[in-house]
């Protein structure tokens, strides 16, 4: 299957272009056209090989959850004219990622293993093991960086630095908890546990709006619900569907994004495994089969034609 490393369209009415870690973003009037490429990032570095189907999976999962949560929070999304494309309203981004964690996993588990018991101003309970459930989900915000690493930050520091007003921050907290609850319920119906995720918000016409993707494997971590308790009791690793297994592979191959470390080359077999895991998560979360593009299809031409048709 062909993978989309990047796009370089010249769309009608285009006034700006931005290439992010994963998305190519075209500005047209008051709207953004986001093309989800097959690039994959970890530890704030883009990996050398793109992952076939990854962009389409992310885009379609995000659309699925954005539509399913409109009753909770307004969002930026207008349409998805192509499996890899989302068109939405331009918003003024709020430079804070709202990270919410239901379990001690990933970054929080690594912090805990270092002996720290405070994360982003939140006190972590004693006596926890990796992948244990928190008594209540915790919010651990991060400042949103244009380049480099996002940085952990506490609620107190966000307000003290004036990054967000107190009223807006409280609204984002309320949305974050409600969205996480909905995502948790939807995952449970499909036999999955939503472990942690992040939400990005912006403002449109003075109103806080949910931006970007939600509940995708790039922004979220999922465990299989079946056997979770037994694996925890036995001290075994949890079966998960998320990008964490990519991070674990990189760590095992000597890379964590630190200075002086060299990115390892991913074998084709591992690239295929990543594709299969992304497709599996799509089908598990949505309950619908994923349609893979044919090897003969000109994917870039298809995407450009669909965008132009939608804009016209």
Question: 264: burial class by Cβ within 10 Å (0-12, 13-18, 19+)?
Answer: middle
Please give the pLDDT value at position 146: 58
CA distance 128 to 140: 17
For the chain, domain boundaries: 14-91+267-311
Tokens of 22: 């994963």
The CATH class given to the 14-91+267-311 domain equals alpha beta
pTM: 0.87
CA distance 215 to 117: 27
Please give the pLDDT value at position 15: 96
Helices (H) and strands (E) in the chain, counts: 8, 17
Per-residue tens of pLDDT for the chain, all 312 residues: 689 999 999 999 999 999 998 999 999 999 999 999 999 988 888 998 999 999 999 999 999 999 999 999 999 999 999 999 999 999 999 999 999 999 999 999 999 999 999 999 999 999 999 999 999 999 999 997 655 567 999 999 999 999 999 999 999 999 999 999 999 999 999 999 999 999 999 999 999 999 988 998 888 999 999 999 999 999 999 998 777 789 889 999 999 988 899 999 999 999 999 999 889 889 988 999 998 877 767 899 999 999 999 998
Please give the pLDDT value at position 25: 97
Please give the pLDDT value at position 2: 83
Q: Where are the alpha helices (DSSP H) in 9-139?
A: 54-68, 107-113
CA distance 267 to 270: 5
Q: How far is CA 241 from CA 85, 141, 194, in A?
A: 23, 23, 10
Angle at the Cα of 182 from the Cα atoms of 181 and 185, rounded to 5 degrees = 85
Please give the pLDDT value at position 24: 97
Query: 77-82 and 85-89: which strand pairing?
Result: antiparallel
> Partners of 41 in the beta sheet?
46
Q: CB under 8 Å to 16, separation ≥6 — which residues?
A: 26, 27
């Amino acid at each position: 299957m062909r993978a989309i490393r990047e796009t370089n369209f010249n769309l009608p009415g285009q006034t700006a272009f931005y290439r992010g870690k994963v998305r190519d973003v075209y500005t047209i009037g008051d709207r953004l056209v986001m093309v989800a490429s097959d690039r994959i990032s970890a530890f704030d570095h883009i990996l050398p090989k793109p992952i076939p189907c990854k962009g389409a999976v992310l885009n379609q999962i995000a659309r699925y959850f954005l539509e399913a949560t409109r009753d909770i929070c307004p969002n930026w999304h207008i349409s998805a004219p192509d499996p890899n494309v989302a068109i939405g309203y331009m918003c003024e981004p709020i430079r804070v990622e709202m990270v919410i964690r239901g379990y001690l996993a990933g970054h929080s588990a690594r912090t805990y293993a270092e002996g720290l018991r405070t994360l982003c101003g939140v006190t972590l309970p004693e006596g926890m093991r990796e992948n244990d459930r928190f008594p209540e989900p915790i919010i651990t915000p991060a400042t949103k960086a244009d380049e480099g690493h996002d940085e952990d930050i506490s609620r107190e520091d966000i307000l003290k630095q004036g990054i967000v007003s107190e009223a807006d921050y409280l609204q984002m907290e309320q949305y974050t908890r409600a969205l996480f609850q909905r995502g948790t319920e939807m995952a449970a119906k499909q036999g999955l546990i939503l472990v942690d995720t992040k939400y990005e918000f912006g403002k449109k016409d003075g109103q806080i709006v949910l931006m970007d993707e939600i509940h995708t494997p790039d922004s979220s971590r999922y465990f299989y619900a079946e056997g979770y308790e037994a694996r925890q009791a036995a001290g075994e690793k949890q079966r998960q569907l998320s990008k964490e297994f990519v991070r674990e592979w990189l760590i095992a191959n000597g890379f964590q994004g630190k200075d002086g470390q060299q990115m390892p080359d991913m074998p084709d077999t591992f690239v295929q495994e990543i594709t299969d895991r992304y497709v599996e998560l799509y089908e598990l979360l949505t309950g619908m089969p994923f349609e893979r593009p044919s090897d003969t299809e000109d994917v870039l031409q298809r995407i450009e034609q669909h965008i132009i048709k939608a804009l016209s």
